[in-house]
Structure 1
Amino acid sequence: MPLSRALEPLTVLAQKRKPLLWLMLVSGLMGIAAFMEPVDLALLTLRNKIRAQPVSGEVVVVGVDDEAIATTGPWPWNRARLAALTDRLFESGADRVFFDLYLPPLEPKGDRAFAEVIDRHPGAVFLASTNDYAADGKARVLEPSSLGDTAEVVSTMKFLRYWNGVPDLAYRQVIGDRVRRSMETAIAGIDGRLGEKFPIDYSYTLASIPYASAADVITGRSELDVKGRTVVVGLNSKTLSTRLAVPGQGHATSVFVTVLGAETLKAGRPAVLGWWPLWMLAVAVSTALLYGSNRLKWMLGVPGLSMLVVLPLVLEHAHVFVEVAPALLLAVGSLVVFAWQQVLERRRELGLVHPVSGLPTVNAMLRREDLISSELLIAARVRRFADIVSTLPPDFEHELTKLIAARLSIGTTGAQLWHGDDGNFVWLTNAAELELVVDQFKAMQLIFRSPIKVAERSYDVDVAFGIDRETALPMSHRLASALAAAHAASEEGVCWMVHDPATAKAKEWKLSLLGELDDALEAGHIWVAYQPQLDLRTAVISGAEALVRWTHPVRGPISPMDFVEIAERNGRIGKVTAFVLDRAGAVTRDVLRRNPAFRMSVNLSPSELSSSMIVDVVRSVLARYQIPPDALVLEITETAAIAEGQAALATLNELRMLGIGIAIDDYGTGMSTLEYLRKIPATELKIDRRFTNALLDGPADRAVMVSTIELAHILGLEVVAEGIETPEQLFALAQIRCDRGQGYHIARPMEDSDLKEMIAYPAKVKANG
């Protein structure tokens, strides 16, 4: 038996346990890399507030604060003043005095006086030392000298974290070439090994620490009782001392953090368990919750989740510190997966979720009453789906279906997918954007050119698409129509088809459009409309987009989607493009006399990029109307440019060398990546109207637009926003430095005479609406 076949049961088991395995991997990596530290800090702050408690009162602070400096003189003081302060403290009954200050040698007489006081109290005075790290990373040792022989020198070195606070302290530190115990361990009388650390218990409140100003102690005005207590003298000036963050309590100077560290040790040597014990508990809880029996879920799952919240409080009360964020991430993620499993199970019971893909079924779609009937209904059919599934090992159909759905989701820009039988998928999209939908079909076909690998085998998957546009009909009828169109496209080997329920006469007319096209060009029934573009910086019209139109003498306006598509399929689009370029060139010549900065944009069909003939057409228009090349911009979607291959890129580069502007049209709806932006020699980026319409929907949509504009500017591209329909959108785009915009709020497409009049008598459209 092949090894791969023998391992299939284990593979299936791993597939079923995949959600838990992923959650364990992510949460475990978060714990190892300490990425969850901000969350742990927030949770610890909350628990500290719940456990808030006063200090023991056995350690008091005497601060060299602003009052003391104002009374006694600027810092650093003459050591004779510190000698007087120390004498006063011992006379008041202080047990020990710690100086949380760096005391370098100063005036010799004062230093001797201070040293004599220290020597009169052997073993009761402690002086600070630390390593001062310079910008180059080298340490400068700060140690007291010539200040008595009986004082123990202890370390006050603290390491700040990103939140400007100190989470833990070392029992011992290497200062210069000597090992010093920390001031906190000296105060508490609890020692540890070099390199060993303990967390600071920030549940002790700063307000409960006994405090007096050094000025009051020196003058005898202090009411602070220091008898039998340990005194810590430190800087507490707003101008001289660095303030450290104390979680949940604001900020305090280093001397107060020293006292909190000492109080932590005085309560006993804390135990530090890290993140993995609670994480292991979370693994057990999550396993029970996701894969256990109903009885096990209620016996272990629900109480286990509660324990993850309560247990850290209980442990910290017992002076045991743990990190809970990775465990909570695992537990909460498992809870979300569990809830989703319950929803899916309920839907499966109702037949609303496909048992293979997990996607909603078409029955679920038909039962929804909130679907917008005015949208296009799209069906995708996977060719030879049953044949591919028949060759797969058991239990791997769901993986194939999942990969197909993932590729479809890329092309549908996040639309809801519904799963039918026999490799059919359905979704809705905006009815006003059929050209965009066709571009998406082409992009998805490019995506599906890469084989899909399942169970160590590669499969070529081909997809055909069907469109239903009969918005007035019931959804069940539309579904059948879309599926029928997709089936017909699959049978005929084409990319897509539109379901056409019209009469035979209407079908004949549609087939006759190609024959009428030449006559319509000659008779003037095909004409060019111009939609103005507004410069959002100056609030004046700076350009326009040329749009082809056909007004049939009998049937009225014909949608460009209909006749342009026919012209493209039958090799006649070049004639239409030449006509549009000629009319646009004539209008541009006239407008440039009034506005030399005016630019005219003309759309190019993807098929025209496969040869350099379009370059000759453009060169001829420029020469005929004597217009500068930079006054003309040719628009092409980046999906089309890449789909047509190297020939298209070569044509675009040749056009760009003429001085013609190149605009990437409908940006964000195709295969928009930095690689494509780098390849296409573009000068402009036209952002699709759906992003403009979503701009005011929320911070995320605004952030997408802002980042797109910033990226374009970095690449040297101007940005044009399409579909501006409200003054609020116009104002918002101006605020985020979009260069130009077009849409119905600025002006609708108009005839050339109206455009010329607008340029001749400019009426400014203010960006603030």
Structure 2
Amino acid sequence: MAYARRRQGGGRGFTRSVPCSAGRAVVMRGLPLHFGNHSPRKTRLIEDLPMRRSRIRRNSQASGSKRKLLGWLVLLSLLFGLVEFGQPFDLALRNLRDKARAQPTSGKVVVVGIDDKALAQVGPWQWNRRELASLTEGLFAAGADRVFFDLYFKPMERGGDRKFVEAVARHPGRVFVASGLDNYSRPGQSVPILPMPEIAGKAETVSVMRWIHYWNGATTVSYRRQFGSHDVRSMEAAIAGVDGNRGEEFPIDYSYRISSVPYISAADILSGKVQANALKGKAVIVGVNSALLEDIFVAPGQGRVAGVFVIAIGAETLLKQPPIGLGWIPPWLFAVGTTAWFVFGRRRRIATAIGAAGIAALLAFPLLLEHFSIFVDVAPALFLAIVTMIIVGWQRFGAAKQSQGAINPVSGLKTVNALLREGLSDPNILVAVRLRRFADIVSTLPPDGERDLLGQIVSRLAMGAGQAQLLHGDDGNFFWLMPEAELASVVDRFKALQLIFRNPIRVSEKSFDVEVFFGVDREIHMPLSHRLASALAAAHAASEEGGCWKIHDPSATGAREWALSLLGELDQAIDAGHIWVAYQPKMELATGAIVGAEALVRWTHATRGPIDPAEFVEMAERHGRIDRLTAFVLNDAARAAAAAVAYDPGFAISVNISPQLLATREVVDMVRRVLRKHRLPASALVLEITETAAMVEGQTALKLLEELRAMGVELSIDDYGTGMSTLAYLRRIPANELKVDKRFAASLLSSPEDQAVMRSTIELAHTLGMHVVAEGVETAETLQMLRAMGCEIGQGYHIGRPMEWLSFMDIFSPRPSRAADG
């Protein structure tokens, strides 16, 4: 929604007609014509009245929307506070404030620990009460003012209990013993844990119970607790000499550094190593301090500590002054006021400043208050303030962002300007889409027609862009970014998109033919501004050359001349052996046997080294030389297959067939010649085609494929899942093998969605009478999963990389040392 509207007054620029009569005014194109006694001022008032009413109505609607928005946010933040969703955030903020206020303890509270040293000296816990009696006498001998035992005293050995009671009786009013609740011995019940009566009569009973949060720590302590008929102070309150009402809690101030709490091992007290008066005037807390005894808690911002130290910090909190815990309501009410001002304030700059100052206050004031022992929780208030500022700020500045060119107002897509503002480089390759005659088409449409046209164009392009975000350029250009690993598979999508755009787009009762071409830029180290121009130049070159797509390659000077030279060298390279065929093994997953291979063409150039197959294969297709290249691969594959069949009659070699070859009978004659020349059974040759190829060439391609199947040649649908697959086309193509694109196997272990797609694809293929080949098998785990799914054949680097035929025969020849799993 918009919160700022341009003020319109004076009726200027409006065309309005009023019936002409006495005492009326006719206003045309904002110019009043006066009749009767009406003055120009009265005429303007008559004209402005509807505009004022409209403006008042719009302001009322905007105000109502603001109230509704603020009401929902206030309600949501209230719920946020009631259910304590913000507790982790409040805890994190308090940790930061505690670090900023970090301070040492007063030294008035000393911890005496039953630690590993004491356990090694005296023996395993629990000790005989004689030892605790000696410890008590030793503490008072060292000058302790009062002794607090963070230990439960149930009856044990009678003689030891008597010794301890006698030691306590010698120091009346100066010994305090713990009480608590047992929540485990009786399921569903809390049983009070009170000291045995002999001790209870001579020492004050205090509580060591506190609420432990899910993170195994406590943030508050009750002043008093009720255990059965006993109403007792907390140990912290008893140490500090303060009291409060039962159920009233105080927050623990963890800004006190636990490392500064004075500490003595119980072993040193028992062995007399502590000097007299060393504990003069001190309150001493005795408790376990060994990981073996499991009384370990988390002190926020200070790590795992024994529970006795949490009691010491709680006592230090009260010794300074009883803290006040205000909770989250007061900051929340403050946030309601500041956000209301931010939302409804008429002067935006002042309202924004107040909103920002409110958030700053919510972050800063708790630190100041804690210096005076006043504690608040601010998560619900910050939630309300920040979310309100984000939502309202987006609404206020969204239109300005569009006006800056970040969003195309017609298509609703991000523009390339948004991409440029996000950074100067991107690790992905850039795809540009060029629509031919886009401007001419738009010029013939009514004002609202461009939106309809762009909507249909975007919906079609989204099929090829996949999960990538489409970006809108100028003059009908579009872009998207994608990982370079997808380039090999996206080529088929380019071709499929060209096919889809052959269907006319209907807008406003008219049909338009829109031609689409693609350009790719892979210079990830270059600024995006440069890459956008490069990708678009490549798309333009593809359009000029009558192709589908083109990769921008500025690394070589005179790239066009190089491509023509490369084309001229193609025949010579075949004759010289620079173009050769590599074979990648195919494994039968059930048995681990190598049952076939895929023939892959390679070119090792004399000066440039290995050339990307996509580059010269695409060039051969574009310039009508793909037939010679395919004939070479078929001949080599048939020769290799004939040698392999001698070892294994079920062996088969796959060869990719270009879509262009499915337009004429040449491919049938080519296959027949190589089968006859090498005396190869037709079943040993598998021709791989894409379903896109069959779609492009239509009935002609299907008839040729049926003729090849009648010869006995196996047919495979290659790269399944990357084209425009439909069940109708799968049923029409006379294939007996379905080859699933490698990207599905690559993410099989991590993607439940791809697992579901793979499983359903295998079931579909089996239903249609086809077996399944999975490409991209890179790990043993992927192989095992495919085997469990019922996939028959696998292909990938885990099974074997493409290699020369002699190397392939070394792993294929049946000899005892051959590994069964490839």
TM-score with structure 1 setting the length: 0.60
Tell me: CA distance 1:229–1:615, structure 2 relative to 1, closer, same or farther (3 Å): farther
Q: Which amino acid aligns with 1:129?
A: S
Tell me: CA distance 1:499–1:44, structure 2 relative to 1, closer, same or farther (3 Å): closer
Q: Which amino acid aligns with 1:261?
A: G
Q: Which amino acid aligns with 2:757?
A: Y
Tell me: CA distance 1:661–1:173, structure 2 relative to 1, closer, same or farther (3 Å): farther
Aligned residue among 441, 454, 467 for 2:518: 467
Task: Work out whether 1:638 is the aligned partner of 2:688.
Answer: no
Cα distance in 1 for residues equivalent to 2:494 and 2:184: 57
**Secondary structure of the corresponding residue to residue 104 of structure 1:** coil
Q: Offset of 1:105 from its aligned partner? A: 1.7
Q: Offset of 1:110 from its aligned partner? A: 1.8
| 1:264-287 deviation digits (Å, cap 9, x = unpaired) | 234313314238836963994798
Tell me: CA distance 1:50–1:650, structure 2 relative to 1, closer, same or farther (3 Å): farther
Task: Work out whether 1:264 is the aligned partner of 2:305.
Answer: no
Cα distance in 1 for residues equivalent to 2:336 and 2:581: 65
Task: Work out whether 1:76 is the aligned partner of 2:130.
Answer: no
Q: Which amino acid aligns with 2:315?
A: A
Q: Offset of 1:467 from its aligned partner? A: 2.7
**Secondary structure of the corresponding residue to residue 311 of structure 1:** helix
Paired position in structure 1 for 2:349: 295
| 1:607-651 deviation digits (Å, cap 9, x = unpaired) | 6999999999889969x9xxxxxxx9975433558x413884999
Within a 5 Å distance, the mapping from 1:580-595 to structure 2 comes to: 589=645
| 1:94-141 deviation digits (Å, cap 9, x = unpaired) | 444321012332111221232344455555433223345559965674
**Secondary structure of the corresponding residue to residue 252 of structure 1:** strand
Within a 5 Å distance, the mapping from 1:328-727 to structure 2 comes to: 354-355=408-409, 357=412, 359-361=414-416, 376-379=431-434, 390=448, 412=465, 415=468, 417-420=470-473, 425-427=478-480, 433=487, 436-439=490-493, 465-468=516-519, 479=536, 529-532=581-584, 546-547=598-599, 589=645, 603-606=688-691, 635-640=718-723, 643-645=725-727, 648=730, 663-667=740-744, 673-681=754-762, 686=775
Q: Which amino acid aligns with 1:252?
A: V
Cα distance in 2 for residues equivalent to 1:405 and 1:218: 83
Cα distance in 2 for residues equivalent to 1:587 and 1:30: 74
Unaligned runs of 5+ in 2: 1-55, 501-512, 524-529, 552-578, 604-612, 625-630, 655-683, 696-701, 764-771, 818-822
Q: Is the 8 A contact 2:430 2:479 kept in 1?
A: no
Q: Offset of 1:208 from its aligned partner? A: 2.6
Pick which of 609-618 and 410-419 moved more.
609-618
| 1:62-112 deviation digits (Å, cap 9, x = unpaired) | 222334334444432222332333344456664443210123321112212
Paired position in structure 1 for 2:235: 183
Q: Is the 8 A contact 2:599 2:633 kept in 1?
A: no
Q: Which amino acid aligns with 2:518?
A: I
Q: Is the 8 A contact 1:362 1:419 kept in 2?
A: no
Paired position in structure 1 for 2:52: none
Unaligned runs of 5+ in 1: 1-5, 447-461, 490-495, 501-526, 568-574, 625-631, 693-704, 723-737, 765-769
Q: Is the 8 A contact 1:126 1:153 kept in 2?
A: yes
**Secondary structure of the corresponding residue to residue 148 of structure 1:** helix
Q: Offset of 1:378 from its aligned partner? A: 1.6
Paired position in structure 1 for 2:18: none
| 1:296-353 deviation digits (Å, cap 9, x = unpaired) | 2674355445434322311222323344566667777888899999998887676565
Task: Work out whether 1:144 is the aligned partner of 2:226.
Answer: no
Cα distance in 1 for residues equivalent to 2:459 and 2:68: 17
Q: Which amino acid aligns with 1:589?
A: V
**Secondary structure of the corresponding residue to residue 680 of structure 1:** helix
Tell me: CA distance 1:475–1:89, structure 2 relative to 1, closer, same or farther (3 Å): closer
Q: Offset of 1:249 from its aligned partner? A: 3.0
Q: Is the 8 A contact 1:409 1:417 kept in 2?
A: yes
Cα distance in 2 for residues equivalent to 1:707 and 1:410: 31
Q: Is the 8 A contact 1:546 1:584 kept in 2?
A: no
Within a 5 Å distance, the mapping from 1:153-164 to structure 2 comes to: 153-158=205-210, 160-161=212-213, 163-164=215-216
Cα distance in 2 for residues equivalent to 1:601 and 1:759: 18
Tell me: CA distance 1:633–1:590, structure 2 relative to 1, closer, same or farther (3 Å): farther
Q: Is the 8 A contact 1:245 1:251 kept in 2?
A: yes
Q: Offset of 1:663 from its aligned partner? A: 3.6
Paired position in structure 2 for 1:248: 301
Paired position in structure 2 for 1:201: 253
Tell me: CA distance 1:589–1:389, structure 2 relative to 1, closer, same or farther (3 Å): farther
Q: Which amino acid aligns with 2:349?
A: R
Task: Work out whether 1:210 is the aligned partner of 2:262.
Answer: yes
Paired position in structure 1 for 2:609: none
Task: Work out whether 1:234 is the aligned partner of 2:284.
Answer: no
Q: Offset of 1:256 from its aligned partner? A: 0.7
Q: Offset of 1:234 from its aligned partner? A: 0.8
Q: Is the 8 A contact 2:326 2:374 kept in 1?
A: yes
Alignment root-mean-square deviation, CA: 7.0
Q: Offset of 1:51 from its aligned partner? A: 0.6
Tell me: CA distance 1:548–1:316, structure 2 relative to 1, closer, same or farther (3 Å): same
Cα distance in 2 for residues equivalent to 1:97 and 1:204: 22
Aligned residue among 361, 365, 371 for 1:317: 371
Tell me: CA distance 1:316–1:402, structure 2 relative to 1, closer, same or farther (3 Å): farther
Within a 5 Å distance, the mapping from 1:14-53 to structure 2 comes to: 37-53=87-103
**Secondary structure of the corresponding residue to residue 200 of structure 2:** coil
**Secondary structure of the corresponding residue to residue 292 of structure 2:** coil
Tell me: CA distance 1:315–1:355, structure 2 relative to 1, closer, same or farther (3 Å): farther
Paired position in structure 2 for 1:452: none
Task: Work out whether 1:273 is the aligned partner of 2:327.
Answer: yes
Cα distance in 1 for residues equivalent to 2:124 and 2:253: 34
Q: Which amino acid aligns with 2:645?
A: R
Q: Is the 8 A contact 1:431 1:469 kept in 2?
A: no
Cα distance in 2 for residues equivalent to 1:545 and 1:85: 83
Paired position in structure 2 for 1:700: none
Tell me: CA distance 1:264–1:754, structure 2 relative to 1, closer, same or farther (3 Å): same
Task: Work out whether 1:56 is the aligned partner of 2:106.
Answer: yes
Cα distance in 2 for residues equivalent to 1:12 and 1:115: 77
Q: Is the 8 A contact 2:430 2:535 kept in 1?
A: no
Percent of paired sites with the same residue: 30
Cα distance in 2 for residues equivalent to 1:427 and 1:706: 34
**Secondary structure of the corresponding residue to residue 315 of structure 2:** helix
Pick which of 323-332 and 155-164 moved more.
323-332
Q: Is the 8 A contact 1:286 1:331 kept in 2?
A: no
Pick which of 178-187 and 7-16 moved more.
7-16
Q: Offset of 1:679 from its aligned partner? A: 1.4
**Secondary structure of the corresponding residue to residue 490 of structure 2:** helix
Cα distance in 2 for residues equivalent to 1:19 and 1:577: 68
Q: Offset of 1:684 from its aligned partner? A: 6.7
Q: Which amino acid aligns with 2:118?
A: A
**Secondary structure of the corresponding residue to residue 263 of structure 1:** helix
What number of residue pairs does the alignment pair up? 646
Paired position in structure 2 for 1:767: none
Q: Which amino acid aligns with 1:50?
A: A
Q: Is the 8 A contact 1:375 1:469 kept in 2?
A: yes
| 1:142-168 deviation digits (Å, cap 9, x = unpaired) | 443244232444332355545443344
Cα distance in 2 for residues equivalent to 1:194 and 1:90: 31
Q: Which amino acid aligns with 2:285?
A: V
**Secondary structure of the corresponding residue to residue 111 of structure 2:** strand
Q: Is the 8 A contact 1:465 1:485 kept in 2?
A: no
**Secondary structure of the corresponding residue to residue 101 of structure 1:** coil
Paired position in structure 2 for 1:515: none
Q: Offset of 1:715 from its aligned partner? A: 6.5
**Secondary structure of the corresponding residue to residue 354 of structure 2:** helix
